[in-house]
Amino acid sequence: MNVAIVEKNPVFRTSVRAMLNHKFHSLTPLETESLESLGEIAQLGIFDIIIIGLSEKDSEIDETVLKMVMEKNPFSSFIVYSSDPDHKQARSLIRIGVKGYLPRHACLAELATCVRSVFSGNPYLSPKIFVNLCYSKTEPAFI
């Protein structure tokens, strides 16, 4: 499985790679710090999964750039993890094609479950975010 990890923080990026290597033996991870720089390493091959990290400092994702990356990687599935998970952001990202969304503080087991689900072609939404999405009073509970 080829995985790209897009995360500004090199320590967190390395931690995600180490956790994934622990759970998946046939993993080929590549790391980069931004969606823009992903294009440079994308020439190295096709990614099965692209994992994008959002930090507290950079909690917003440029959906225009994300859509362009998705168009350039049509065979890749996308997972976003956020330090400040938001049901509105989750809904918006899922609508544009993100297959997995989980909080940055998710445990290794949840990250592995998300990757397995998305790699199998199924969507994954963290149960904590799903509950918030279902009980949102400002918008309908459906995505």
What is the structure's pLDDT at 133? 62
* Mean pLDDT split into 10-residue runs, the chain, 143 residues: 91 90 88 84 79 79 88 92 82 92 89 95 86 58 47
What is the structure's pLDDT at 141? 46
Question: Quick check: 13 and 50 in contact, CB under 8 A?
Answer: no
What does each C-alpha distance from 136 to 39, 86, 93, 104 come to in angstroms?
A: 36, 11, 17, 21
What is the structure's pLDDT at 134? 62
Distance of CA 42 to the CA centre of its chain: 16
What is the structure's pLDDT at 38? 83
What is the structure's pLDDT at 47? 92
What is the structure's pLDDT at 36? 84
Q: What are the boundaries of each domain within the chain?
A: 2-134
What CATH homologous superfamily does 2-134 map to? Answer: Response regulator (3.40.50.2300)
What is the structure's pLDDT at 142? 46
What is the structure's pLDDT at 39? 74
What is the structure's pLDDT at 124? 94
Residue 121: strand, helix, or coil: coil
